[in-house]
Structure 1
Amino acid sequence: MAPVLQSSQPWVEKYRPKQVKDVAHQDEVVRVLTNTLETTNCPHMLFYGPPGTGKTTTALAIAHQLYGPELYKSRVLELNASDDRGINVVRTKIKNFAAVAVGTVRHGSGYPCPPYKIIILDEADSMTEDAQNALRRTMETYSKVTRFFFICNYISRIIEPLASRCAKFRFKPLTEEIMTTRILYICKEEGLNLDSEALSTLSCISQGDLRRAITYLQGAARLFGSSISSKDLISVSGVIPEDVVQALFSACKSGNFDTADKEVKNVIAEGYSVSQMLSQLYDVIVESDDISDEQKARICKKIAEADKCLIDGADEYLQLLGVASNTMCAISNMPSFGS
């Protein structure tokens, strides 16, 4: 096995683009931001889109290209969802950092070093509404010396007064072609061998999330060495085996609640992700030929509701049981539970 496989550095970090122009597939975003870097005329920014599409990478690249390694730590404040970003932090830490004026000293480094600081708020959609409201005044008061970069998956969770103060950039899911190109480059660098089936599988299971694809690839490389098959990638990805999904679907079609409940408990006991199960169950139901469009619509509506509840922290067993019960009712043309 190549020695590089024993390195402790995650490949996600090792192969993270260091410059804005290297960010894959976000052509419009890159074009606008490259111009921003040239003029150093930087507005508040809001990056939104699916995970693993380059939002955080782009924000960090801009900051590094503006200030260089010497000034980065003093000019850039990064706060993630894991940090406390409640209303008190906004009023103290963020406000105090935003209030300090900075000069334009270049230190002979060749970096633009514009006369403002940058505050990067990653996963901003997990901030409370009160905390977001507290930022409004801070953004306006210190706009001459501070720029805010908001990064989120769901733009609908950013309050309108904040969103309207920012230039918005949507990051698109990566195409299979772009994913394949990047994965093949990493395989070449790391001495890995992936056949076309494995490449296709990796693109399918990562669903446009390049970070997830690289993580799966590194996990498979550590476990199975330099030759990685489609089966190896599925085993490290957490994708639920097709027979488990089919067993739950068959139990729903049987019309027997106890049978469905047994399969749901089996999914939970095996430790499978219910969110992943809903995603795969959705695919099975949409492609099914023996269910009417009206029945599919009822089932998919419930899957959507359950998926939202899971994001908000609901109990996995109850949500999956709810989906199974309503699927059973829809297939049997009975009123749904709770209707």
Structure 2
Amino acid sequence: MACLRIHEGHDGERDGLQVTVNDPSEVRAPTIAITGAAGNLGDLLARHMLANTGAELRLLIHRRDVADDLGRHQRAKVFKCDLAQPESLGQALAGADTVVHFAGVLFKARPERFLPVTNTQYFRNLIEAAVQQRVRRVLLISFPHVEGETTPDRPATGRLDGKPESVHARTRLEEERMLFEAGQRHGFEAVSLRAGMVYGRGVLMIDTARWLAVWTEPTWIHLISKDDFVRATSNAAIQVGVSGIYHLGDEGKQTLQEFLDKCTVTWNTAKPWRLPLRLIYAAARLCEWQSTVLATASPLTCDFITIGRCSYYGDTRRMRAELLQHLKHPTLASGRWIL
């Protein structure tokens, strides 16, 4: 029976894991599989783990390849897989200790048509493959919206009985329920990280926000810097005793409108226009129509607006106690300089 041994990182955080197999003298670094490794956040996590942990990485990709330097790294192996075909996942997950799931489809028209497949069914395939390969931990990247409307005064607390309005949130909640049911049934460690809005230079959603207008109604959002996001996620992947739901967020309290206005000061650009909601939905419908006709990506969808209008804020006490005691950027006041 393998045991897991923790060592302290340079900042006192528990950010390293070693696996001892049978003979106490036989020690190996953990093996972490990352789906969607060629995507924005998957790339950030892989780079952080290669630079700051001794973990061996399995980088799972579908159509797009990882950056050349990641593919050449001596502790990273790239596997071309298709979540629609569970049999393609076996080699990538064989011997993995943890799988971190990022993969998904975002910028595509009519998400109500494809998300029940690309979120729910594909994740079911991943879980089945992980069970077959005896992966010890499955970690899902989620978000607080799955509990519905939450605020700093009424934060999300880790419930699974929410009734979210958007298709993105409904299908992600279904993934969470599936994850914890399977973990209990098959005996692996099930972990959901409900992350607030990840911000920082190079984060695709934030870079896109430079060109967007916003509705007038104030919407609460919970932020976390990309530096703190990858540290918390890395710790969740390699520490012992991690299971259940964790909300990832900083100590700040702000609305989406306030956040965007502060970003424009750093970017030295004009503040985003405040537009009536009906005009923003009209723009989304136009984007989806163009995407459908031209078979191109859709930078805006109606469901993006629906989920974006939902205020969200998570109770981060478990994160601070078990994953990340000290934030590099506790509020946007210190973190906006990384935008």
| TM-score, normalisation: structure 2 | 0.32
Instruction: Point out the structure with max Rg over C-alpha.
Output: 1
Whose helix fraction is larger, Structure 1's or Structure 2's? Answer: 1
Whose strand fraction is larger, Structure 1's or Structure 2's? Answer: 2
